[in-house]
Structures are given as C-alpha cells and as structure tokens.
Amino acid sequence: MRIGIIAHLKYPIAKPFMGGLEAFTYDICQRLLSRGHDVLLYASASSDPILNVRPIMFEAGYKPIVSSKFTSRELSMEFISTHHAYVEVMQDIDSEGLDVIFNNSLNYVPIMMAGLLHTPMVTVLHTPPIFELKRAIRREQDYEKIKYVTVSNANARNWKDYAPNCEVIPNGVDLEKWDFYPENAGDYIMWFGRIHPDKGLHIAIQAAKAAGKKMKVAGAISDKFYYEEKILPLIDNSIELVGHCNHEKLNELIGNAQVSLITPCWDEPFGLVIAESLACGTPVAGIGRGALPELLCARTGSLSLGEDVQELAGCIHQAAALNRQDCREKAVRYLDVESMTDAYERVLAEAAAQAAPMKIRSNAA
C-alpha cells in the first residue's frame, strides 16, 4: 500500500522522543516501511529522514508553547501555524496517489477536510475527547469517510458518544530493543516522561519521599513554568534529575529501578511508559486513572484510587515486591509492537479496499 501518515507537529518524530506519541509514530512508520509499504510521513522537518519525511512544518515558522504561563499571542502563533500546515497538506494529499491516509495528528483539520477527499482515512484518537476533535468528528460523520481507532478500552468509552464504533488497538513497544532486567541493581524508583503538569511529577516526588525512596527523573521539560515553580522547590538529595536520555540509558535506568512511578493527572488514554517499564521487567506504582487499571494487574502493578500521596507511597512498597518476570511476560503477551503493527496493517488495508471501487468510479468520471 501507499500510505500517508499525518503526524502530530508539536515535536519532531525523532529520537530521543519527547513523548509516547512521537515514539508510536516513529515505530509504526518504520515497521510499515520495513514490511514493504510505500510510506510518506507528513511531519516536522526535523523528523528522522529514514522515515521518508514529507516536511510540513519548519522550525522557523513554529513557536510551540513551552510554559503553562503564556500570552494570547503565543497561543495564536502556535494555533495558526499548525492550522495552515494541515490545511495545505489536506488540499494536496489526493494528488499523492495514496491508498489510505493514516491520521495521528491530534488536530481537527484533517478530520474536517476528510469529506472533501477521494482518499480514505484511518484516524487514531490518541487523546480523550477535546472540543475541536468532538466538533470535527460530529460533522465528518455526515460523510463517513473515516475509520476511527483508539488505544485503550478506557479511551473508547470516553469517545463512545462521538465515535461509537471505535476499534481498540493497544500501543506496543519493540521488545527486542528493551532489555529485560530479571533483577534490579539500583536502590531507587524511576519516573520518566515529559515534565508537564499532566504527568504529575510533583505528586511523584512527594510520594517517593513519603515512601522513603530515592528517585531518578528522566525526561524533557515541556513546561518551563511548571518545572520552575512546582518541581525545583521539591528537589533535594533524594531526587536526581538525569535529563532527556537516549534509549540505551533510559533502558538501563528503568531496568535497574525497583519500581516505575507513573502519576497521570488526567485520563491518560494509554501511557507508553507502562509498556516500556514492563518490558524492562520493572513493576509499576501509579495513580489509577485512564488506561492504567486496564493495562496493569495485581501481578504487575499497584495503583492508588486518587492523588493521595500516602496511598501512593504504599503502592510503591507493594509494587517493589512484585515478580519482574511477570512484568516482562505481560509486555510480551499484550504490548508487542509487531502485534500492534499487524492490527494497523489490517485496518489500513480494509479501509483502502473499501474505498477502492469509489476511487475508480470517481477517476472514470
């Protein structure tokens, strides 16, 4: 198939990944290419060129918001630049001779303009319902040009009033690249991800201290105000900030940790950090929101009911006693990137096949 993948534009699709969506897009693009598909990745110009990138956003024309304290002008610059980039893509994409469009953009424009295209689209709902996407999906359903997929049953339930037939395909990780650590050599717990209010690092630090544990923190700062106002005042000798690590370093840090601490402050649709931790054999302690209760079980993690620091501290101790082999086996059975790719390959092929007769009639006319 000739597949056009539309990426999220806030960050490049390149290593080290800023977050789970960038990792997902990289992995699925790379695997579809390796399976012989002709793939175009519509993404930031700074994305990895091995992915056959069709640049639609250049750094000179884009200023992403990096603080929760921003001006209306900064907001409009980010909004307008991404809006224009996606509009230009959608205006020209039919001319690429694609069999199917694989939309992972998080933006309303590809959905709103899908009804104008001959090329079918598969859209992955990587977020809970947000205003722009809800409105776009409601209007698009007059045309029924899009097949919707999401990443967890929890998120499918969130979207049921807008995309009631949303198929669930869990995210996966490359198990050959995540080394399994049957025993941890470290005396610390691990927190990793984007440093942003949604990820709850401030809660994680307080819980680690309440549990009497040292903690290492790996990740890029995506909200400077949050980092400076909420995180830095909590840092002491028990908390080590190790920065934005490459894959090999991150694998070592997670694998040697007693526990990974995952603290979403929103309804996390999936949480690729869960799959990455389990692949290393490291059990998870966390806040039981979003997809976390679905992805973990009593053998692989311990979850609090809310953001109570003392309850979460207890979960850290409970998770530290879990069997690391069970964690790895959970990843192998349910969170493998090859199984994920199989499922998306099927969905993309079905969408292309269903639309092929319509495209033939349209071209003949």
CA distance 135 to 113: 13
Three-state DSSP class for residue 317: helix
Q: For residues 36, 33, 152 and 300, what is the CA-based torsion angle, rounded to 10 degrees?
A: 100
pTM of the predicted model as reported, rounded to 2 decimal places: 0.90
* Confidence (pLDDT) at 360: 47
CA distance 56 to 44: 6
CA distance 296 to 284: 8
CA distance 277 to 50: 27
Residue 73's Cβ-count burial label (10 Å; 0-12, 13-18, 19+) is exposed
Mean pLDDT by 10 residues, the chain (365 residues): 95 92 96 98 95 84 56 62 92 96 96 94 95 89 88 96 94 97 97 96 98 97 95 97 96 98 96 97 97 97 96 98 98 97 98 73 49
b/e per residue 289-305 (b: at least 16 CB within 10 A): bbbbebbbeeebbbbbe
Q: Is the sign of the CA dihedral 324, 329, 331, 336 positive or negative?
A: positive
Nearest to 78 by CA among 98, 100, 115, 106: 106
Furthest CA-CA distance within the chain: 72
* Confidence (pLDDT) at 79: 77
Which domains are delineated in the chain?
A: 2-172+336-364 (3.40.50.2000), 188-334 (3.40.50.2000)
Rg over alpha carbons for the chain, rounded to the nearest Å, is 21
